[in-house]
Structure 1
């Protein structure tokens, strides 16, 4: 039996960690490709609302389950306990692989802003630095996340103000065409942004009074993120319009330029880098905790379940995750990673909703809506993302079958 993790996070810490993941991923990575899929302002905002509804159902399922099972691992644990070991393994596999892609996307986003000519090298350096921060203890990670979130929100407030004040007339394009396929695909891509609240659940073993803290922190972080997304999306659409937004590689910087506020570009650049780093920080936390839980159960090498006696963190899991993310960040492309990550995360939350359905009649309506929403959005993603994600899940099934055949596993 490995040592338990140290419970040191309260509601504010948990909210900041989740908000840091959501704001960093959504505003600076998913908005432009989602606009390209949506095709119009009305479709993009509809997609944002739909993604928020599915995310809310998932958040409520995660909060209820995390309060009952306050262990590291999130839906991996819930699926294992409520549905059986296969479904837990499938959820954990989808999360680890999908979120590794998310980590690489965030690292590359930071690298593109910090050192555009050497984005891959800067991304690897960011992964190494933040892995070192996480290695020092979860409280240090929570403190850094708090600083990053405060700075990013200040920058986003400036972007929204400038865009509303100086945006050219007639670019919003609210009357554009709205197609069901475009809305669903955009929603699937935007869901990538909302998945940050999972970090709160996967840190369940490090939260004080989890039955009280987690159900409060998850919906609060989600609601704050949705408010930020809506304001920024409307502001950027006012400044650029949907077509220019879809083409932009740095939409917030382009928005302040279009609003005659170019003096804000350095601050936006710094904010984008900080947001991506904040998301990367919390992503590494979440992936390493799920890795810890799977290693405890014998589905990953047992050495990854070690907990450092001084810092109280799963140090080997964090080092392993950091190493894999660094390799992916050295070779990956940001936009390709978003669709692949979204597919894995939607599968993960489908298992969470199915697990919540078993809790009782009160939880079933939201669980059904969440499960159906995850299935529809996953299927609506770009074909390449669906095929790659399906292949990864198939590999996970093979890995499960192999691990079941090994003797000496600690849990059935």
Structure 2
């Protein structure tokens, strides 16, 4: 006999959406959810990691041509945040880019977005951890490979323990660390402008090559530091009033980071001589030292970077688990990823992500020359969910048939196209090697998708399933 395709064997007792247990909002209640301040802190905390503390030195080697590139990149990031806000209002459920791609283009594109983001989350966490180790070693000086690895493991697993205690503690920790790291950066960005000297800025194009090559190089560096802008969309069900607050938190967080990045970079460029800045390993500390004299600033900024890094690791540890949890609810990831603890923590996702981050961290220290490739790889895998989110918004705008004014439609279309181009630029700036490795990693996910479909006794589209013949014992 044929088996009805609407109720696969594994789905007995599930809700209509395929959840293995009640949704997070049912489990947690309003008191256990993230308000607008905590949601914005999650976005800011995940965007502002440790990269900003080294960015001015990297851009100094390129020249002041980096400033218009940073301004353009910020506009692209804001456009993408606006798209996330529109999509979050339309689909206020957890999963973010996964949910948007799945709703617009079907299960496979949804799965691929989830898989790509998952690669980004645990791989990027290893990158944050390595940068974090450098600032911790400002005080400890554990310079051996074993010492650095030990420090990195502490940085990876402390956020795991915090995440296992539930969303309320995650939100509190994220808010505190965001405030503590934002204040000194704002101080440099504002006070530093009063110490700027024009002769410090250096040449417009310091690379010696073409302007286009300099723009592409700056683009690759700047785009990565905006990774994390989608954070609140992925945990939408853990946010109070997600239809409203997802968009507000995304735009507010990206706008705050964009203004901070631009002002802080200009301030550092203008307070540290160009040649010194291009060689600096602690540009913000050098900036403060030049403003006020002494060496106390190096210690202060190292503490700031340590706080910033652990806050970013905490937020990304949450996202490592949340994206596969959303996909697992729909039967596209192993069911274990959807199970929540009493405190509402997706334990399997947190622990599996931490183990993979640990392995990537060890690999980074054993193969130091490949670490930059890992970061660019994470940049590429970030772009895939971004691209399909922007494409989903564009798809709904041109096929929705909504009765809206031409002016509003033109504005929404423009924002969606800018976000799409921004996402495409991330892929281009990642470089050939990172794109190749990224595509290979994406293809590895295809058998996982096939396995998930087979577990459900399905093939083809879930919406148009023919009855399948019963297998042995079916």
Counterpart position of 1:113: 135
Q: How many residues align?
A: 408
**1:10 is the counterpart of 2:35:** yes
Correspondent of 2:268 among 236, 254, 263 = 236
Task: Compare the two structures and name the one with the higher helix fraction.
Answer: 1
Secondary structure of 2:396's match? Answer: coil
**1:277 is the counterpart of 2:307:** no
Q: Which moved more, 1:243-252 or 1:260-269?
A: 243-252
- Distance 1:83-1:379 versus aligned 2 partners, 3 A rule: same
Matches for 1:275-354 after TM superposition, within 5 Å? 275-309=308-342, 311-332=343-364, 335-354=372-391
Secondary structure of 2:229's match? Answer: helix
Secondary structure of 1:196's match? Answer: coil
- Distance 1:85-1:56 versus aligned 2 partners, 3 A rule: same
TM-score, scaled relative to structure 1:
0.91
Q: Which moved more, 1:8-17 or 1:251-260?
A: 251-260
Counterpart position of 1:85: 107
Please tell me whether the aligned partners of residues 98 and 110 of structure 2 are also in contact (alpha carbons under 8 angstroms): yes
**1:173 is the counterpart of 2:222:** no
Counterpart position of 1:72: 94
**CA deviation string 1:341-377 (max 9, x = no partner):** 1111112100110111122253332222211221133
Q: Which moved more, 1:63-72 or 1:83-92?
A: 63-72
Matches for 1:37-186 after TM superposition, within 5 Å? 39-41=62-64, 43-115=65-137, 116-117=141-142, 118-160=147-189, 163-164=192-193, 170-173=199-202, 175-176=204-205, 179-186=211-218
- In structure 1, runs of 5+ residues without a counterpart are none
Counterpart position of 2:44: 19
Q: 2 CA distance for matches of 1:225 and 1:16?
A: 11
**1:393 is the counterpart of 2:442:** yes
Secondary structure of 2:344's match? Answer: coil
Q: 2 CA distance for matches of 1:382 and 1:109?
A: 21
- Distance 1:62-1:261 versus aligned 2 partners, 3 A rule: farther
Please tell me whether the aligned partners of residues 28 and 276 of structure 1 are also in contact (alpha carbons under 8 angstroms): no
TM-score, scaled relative to structure 2:
0.80
Please tell me the root mean square deviation across aligned C-alpha atoms, in Å.
2.4
- In structure 2, runs of 5+ residues without a counterpart are 1-19, 399-408, 463-474
Q: 2 CA distance for matches of 1:93 and 1:35?
A: 35
Counterpart position of 1:383: 432
Q: 2 CA distance for matches of 1:29 and 1:297?
A: 40
- Distance 1:33-1:336 versus aligned 2 partners, 3 A rule: farther
